[in-house]
Amino acid sequence: MKQYNFDEVIERKGSFSVKAEMLKETFGREDLLPLWVADMDFRTPDFIVDALKKRCEHEIFGYTFAPDTYYESIIQWVHYKYHWYIQQEWINYIPGIVKGIGFALQCFTQPGDKVIIQPPVYHPFRIVPESMQRQVVYNPLKEVNGTYEMDFEHLESIIDKDCKVLIVCSPHNPGGIVWPKETLIQLAEICARHHILVISDEIHAEMVYPGNKHHPFPTVSETAASCSITFMAPSKTFNIAGIVSSYAIIPDEQLRQKFYSFLEAGEFGAGTLFAYTATTAAYTYGAEWLQQMRQYVMENVRFVTEFLEYHIPQIKTYAPQASFLLWLDCRGLKLSQEELVNLFVNKAHLALNDGSMFGPGGEGHMRLNVGCPRALLEEALNALKKALDKK
């Protein structure tokens, strides 16, 4: 069995990396350790790189189509990961999950319609609808015993006839929550009763930690399957975000026909040659790599948590159940959000995501990407400790 090296530090500058090369534009300075954008600093696994290299040897990159092997790799992987039997006609390529959300809003809503999100949550859930002149309605998550729960009582109170869509992040970003099946069942019942479409962003699902079980939204009940569209991708898991390899799964025939006809009309669902190649390789050969990578990330989470507990107890972590994103509760530092960001950026020289970008409830928090060699985390935490010691 091959052992993968996740301790290798790879220089990303010069590769047109948003994470490494857009620090000045985003944070106002370049001398920062980048721990923000949600891609990993691990080398993309060899079986994907080899598949891309092999395809490049053909030396003609003309118009392409999705081969049967592409669909079969998704079908088998989804069954392997979630014991969910899906059919080929349920699947359609989309050019990114955020773009998929935009397409779904164009397809199923009109300007002025309301879109419900549950902050603190991935910020494009707010930005995309607002940019498309939809009204964003907040159903904030409840903080309970160091984690979050959905507030169904509040959800029922804010729904009116103009609410057309609810976007759910499953597993949750930035909180790292794997939603219980009962929670998703209840969410589906409420949304179906009010004729609200659920868009389920499940891009982090493949990285659920042992002891937790991810439930794809349509699998929790017939009701959920009838009122939802699900977006998945290998991009976070196998570090191929730049290849753009997302896809939709829609069991309900009526929803599927409407959305996939919309995609087909603009050729939005036509995938790229390298997306088909990379996805097929990832899902055919990726199980062992994923297991090793996930173990390394879990050790990184443990490392950060123990360091903070010992050296900076004012900062607490939400114990994640999935993914490589760690939500830091910095309220114990008793700083304003501006002071908090200044501490990380200008004093510790670290680039993390400002918690307030995730909406109400994000204040006093920062999001840390631990998908990197442990040496970089150690450097970052020591820099943060040094900055705090100087206060």
Same domain, 222 and 352: no
The answer to pTM > 0.95 is yes
Same domain, 270 and 328: no
Domain count, the chain: 2
Q: What is the pLDDT of residue 1?
A: 86
Same domain, 174 and 135: yes
* Amino acid (1-letter code) at residue 65: F
* Amino acid (1-letter code) at residue 190: I
Q: What is the pLDDT of residue 390?
A: 87
Terminal-residue alpha carbon distance, the chain: 49
Q: Which domain holds residue 365?
A: 18-45+287-389
Question: What CATH number does residue 277 fall under?
Answer: 3.40.640.10
**Cβ–Cβ under 8 Å, residues 167 and 115:** yes
Same domain, 305 and 268: no
Same domain, 214 and 301: no
In a domain, 11, yes or no: no
Question: What CATH number does residue 315 fall under?
Answer: 3.90.1150.10
Same domain, 148 and 278: yes
Q: What is the pLDDT of residue 146?
A: 87
Same domain, 279 and 336: no
> Which of 242, 266, 285 represents a domain boundary (last residue)?
285
Q: 228: which 2 tokens?
A: 């939802």
In a domain, 1, yes or no: no
Q: 115: which 2 tokens?
A: 């879109």
Same domain, 89 and 207: yes
In a domain, 5, yes or no: no
Cα 6 versus chain centre, distance: 21
In a domain, 383, yes or no: yes
Same domain, 314 and 177: no
Same domain, 69 and 23: no
Same domain, 24 and 74: no
Of 125, 352, 128, 371, nearest to 235 by C-alpha is 371
> Which of 221, 253, 285 represents a domain boundary (last residue)?
285
Same domain, 261 and 300: no
In a domain, 207, yes or no: yes
In a domain, 99, yes or no: yes
In a domain, 226, yes or no: yes
In a domain, 327, yes or no: yes
- Burial bucket for residue 62 (CB in 10 Å: 0-12, 13-18, 19+): exposed
> Which of 285, 303, 329 represents a domain boundary (last residue)?
285
Q: What is the pLDDT of residue 391?
A: 67
Q: pLDDT (tens digit, 0 to 9) for every residue of the chain, 391 residues total?
A: 899 999 999 999 999 999 999 999 999 999 999 999 999 999 999 999 999 999 999 999 999 999 999 999 999 999 999 999 999 999 999 999 999 999 999 999 999 999 999 999 999 999 999 999 999 999 999 999 889 999 999 999 999 999 999 999 999 999 999 999 999 999 999 999 999 999 999 999 999 999 999 999 999 999 999 999 999 999 999 999 999 999 999 999 999 999 999 999 999 999 999 999 999 999 999 999 999 999 999 999 999 999 999 999 999 999 999 999 999 999 999 999 999 999 999 999 999 999 999 999 999 999 999 999 999 999 999 999 999 998 6
Q: What is the dihedral of CA 175, 180, 183, 187, to 10 degrees?
A: 80
